[in-house]
Amino acid sequence: MTLLSPQQVEFYDTEGYVVLPELLNADDMAAVRRDMAARVSEIADDLFADGLISDKLENESFERRLARLFENLTDKEFLKYGRSWRDRLPGYFDLMSNPKIIDAVESLIGPEIFSNPVYNTRPKVPGVAAGAVPWHQDKSYWPNANSNPVITVWIPLVDTNLENGCLHVWPRTHKSKVLSFHAEQVTGTYYTEIDPQHLKEARIVPLPIKAGGAILFNDRCIHMSTLNKSNSVRWSVDLRYQPTDQDPMPEYGAGFLARSKEHPERVATLEDWLAGRLERELTLA
């Protein structure tokens, strides 16, 4: 089990985040990488059919292919596919239900765990508008939801660093209220962004981390990421979990019961999640 140590839990409680290097291995990430690669192939087919590219780059690496597909295209053409993706594919469920992740989350919120519907794949592509994510609190995306805490589990699928736009956090901001914010208007991404008067004393902590590591943080913890200045895609996912007695946020989609000590028979299967059911569909024998 990947339960956090008392020291890690104390660090999270104090700072609002905790870094878990090497949480996952290549096998843990294989299924989600496969589904991400399949999505890139669909995009390549689409771009080719529209006459925007002449080569689908089918032999290019996972790390480089999407970057090369868009290297001569515009922000608008990239944003057609979304600044982040929320596909309902088996590889995502495989990752979201990974016991190593769920164990870590259990250390923070207990064994009754709901996987929030707001999960994202983030392909941070060099030179496109969606690359930089401004200072924000995740809760600004669901300010009226009766859910606290929501734990974000941010996992890179490639090594992240200052060059390709690693995550940055502002520690000890997780116990504050949701600060006033606005929708970013310059790039067309409409990310939520904290109003500038709150950022005068920001304390910035960059968190470079290798593929398969994880950064867990509270949905009030202020964070951001910078532009990708490398020549490869900074692939990451952000998954979210919360106690089962909190708002499941159905307006954002269907999450699922990821773990339950009280009702283990209700924990959702892949088939339940693909069908949009919150828990296992039980049938009478």
Tens digits of per-residue pLDDT, 183-235?
A: 887 777 888 999 999 998 889 999 999 999 999 999 999 999 999 999 999 99
Residue 281 falls within a domain, yes or no? no
pTM to 2 decimals?
0.94
Residue 1 falls within a domain, yes or no? no
The residues near 153 (Cβ < 8 Å, ≥ 6 apart) are 101, 104, 105, 214, 215, 216, 238, 239, 240, 241
- Cα–chain center distance at 35: 15
pLDDT above 70 for 285: no
Q: What domain range is 131 assigned to?
A: 6-274
Residue 284 falls within a domain, yes or no? no
Residue 283 falls within a domain, yes or no? no
Q: How many domains is the chain built from? A: 1
Residue 113 falls within a domain, yes or no? yes
Residue 224 falls within a domain, yes or no? yes
| Beta bridge partners of residue 121, listed in sequence order | 85, 237
> pLDDT tens, 41-88?
999 999 999 999 999 999 999 999 999 999 999 988 999 998 889 999
Residue 31 falls within a domain, yes or no? yes
Strand 167-170 versus strand 205-207 pairing type? antiparallel
Q: CATH code at 216? A: 2.60.120.620
